[in-house]
Amino acid sequence: MVDANELLSLDDLQAAGNIRTGRQHVLSILVENKPGVLTRVSGLFTRRGFNIDTLSVGPTDDERISRITLTLDGSSQPIDQLTKQLHKLINVLKIKDLDPAETVARELALFKVSVDAQTRSEIRELAEVFRGKVVDVGKRSIIVEVTGDRSKIEAFERLVRPYGLVEMIRTGSVAIARGREET
C-alpha cells in the first residue's frame, strides 16, 4: 500500500516553463563555423516569432567555432522555450544565458556629429568624459567612437543629439562572463 509519506499532493506541484523573466537577456551561443549557420539561427527567431534586440557574430580562438551574442527582451518572450528551440539546431554547440550581474557586456558605437569651430571642442570634451575617442575630424563634422554598455551609449547619444547627430552606427553587444569561468 502507499505510504502516506510517499503520497504527494497534486496541489503542491508547481508548473515550470514559459516564464517571462521581465529582464534583458544576453545569450552567448557557440556554433559550428559552417555555411548557413547564422541563417538557421536568425530564421528560427522569425519562424517562432521571437524578437532579437541585438546580434553580433565573430570568430573564436578555435577556427571551427564561431560565437553569436544575442540580446533579447525577457519580458515579452519565454527565454527557456527559445533556448530549447536553439539547442535543436544541429550546428549549435552551447548556449549560455549570461547572468547580467556576472557579465561584462560591451557595445561599440560611432557617432557622426555636425560641428562648427566652437562646438567641436565641446564634443571633444564630452567624448573625453565618456572615455570615447575622436577618430575623424572634418571641417563640419566629427566622428566619435564610444564603447560601453547600452546605457552609456544611449546617454552619449542623448548628449550629442542637440548638436546635430548626422548618423550613428552601433554594433550589437558582445559579452563575457566575469571571473575564471568560461563564457
Partner 1 sequence: MRAVDAIMECLKAEGVDVVFGYPGGANLPTYDAFVDADIHHVLVRHEAGAGHAAQGYAKTTGKVGVAFGTSGPGATNLVTPIMDAMMDSVPVVFFTGQVRTELLGTDGFQEADTIGITMPAVKHSFLITDPRELPRTIHEAFHIARTGRPGPVVIDLPMDLSKVDIAYEPVTDVHLPGYQPRTVGNAKQIKQAARALAAARRPMIYAGGGVVLANASDALRELVREGGFPITQTLMGLGAYPAPDPQFLGMLGMHGTRAANYAMDEADLICAIGARFDDRVTGKLSEFAPRAKFIHIDVDPAEISKNIPAHIPIVGDAAQILPRLTEEYRALGADASRMDEWWQRIHAWQARHPLTYEPGENGEIKPQQVIETLYRITGGDAIICSDVGQHQMWAAQYYHYPEPRRWINSGGLGTMGFGLPAAIGAQIGDPERTTVVVSGDGSIQMNIQELATIRQENIPVKVVVLNNGYLGMVRQWQELFWQERYSHVDMGTFGGEEAFPDFVKLADAYGIRGIRLTESGSFEDDLRAAIEAEGPAFIDVRVTRDEKVYPMIAPGEAARNMVG
Asked whether 29 and 85 are in contact (CB, 8 A), the reply is no
Residue with cell 558582445: 174
- Residue 46 or 121: the one with the smaller Cβ distance to partner 1 is 46
Query: What is the crossing angle of helices 117-129 and 150-164, to 10°?
Result: 170
- Shortest distance, position 91 Cβ to partner 1, whole Å: 6
The residues with which 28 forms a beta bridge, in sequence order, are: 69, 96
- Shortest distance, position 105 Cβ to partner 1, whole Å: 25
Asked whether 108 and 146 are in contact (CB, 8 A), the reply is yes
Of 148, 151, 130, the C-alpha closest to 24 is 151
- Residue 1 or 129: the one with the smaller Cβ distance to partner 1 is 1
- Shortest distance, position 51 Cβ to partner 1, whole Å: 17
- Residue 13 or 129: the one with the smaller Cβ distance to partner 1 is 13
| Interacting residue ranges for partner 1, rule: CB under 8 A | 1-2, 6-10, 13-18, 31-32, 35-36, 39-40, 43, 47, 80-81, 84-85, 87-93
- Shortest distance, position 45 Cβ to partner 1, whole Å: 11
- Residue 19 or 135: the one with the smaller Cβ distance to partner 1 is 19
Other C-beta atoms closer than 10 Å to the C-beta of 95 total 18
The DSSP output letter for 149 is -
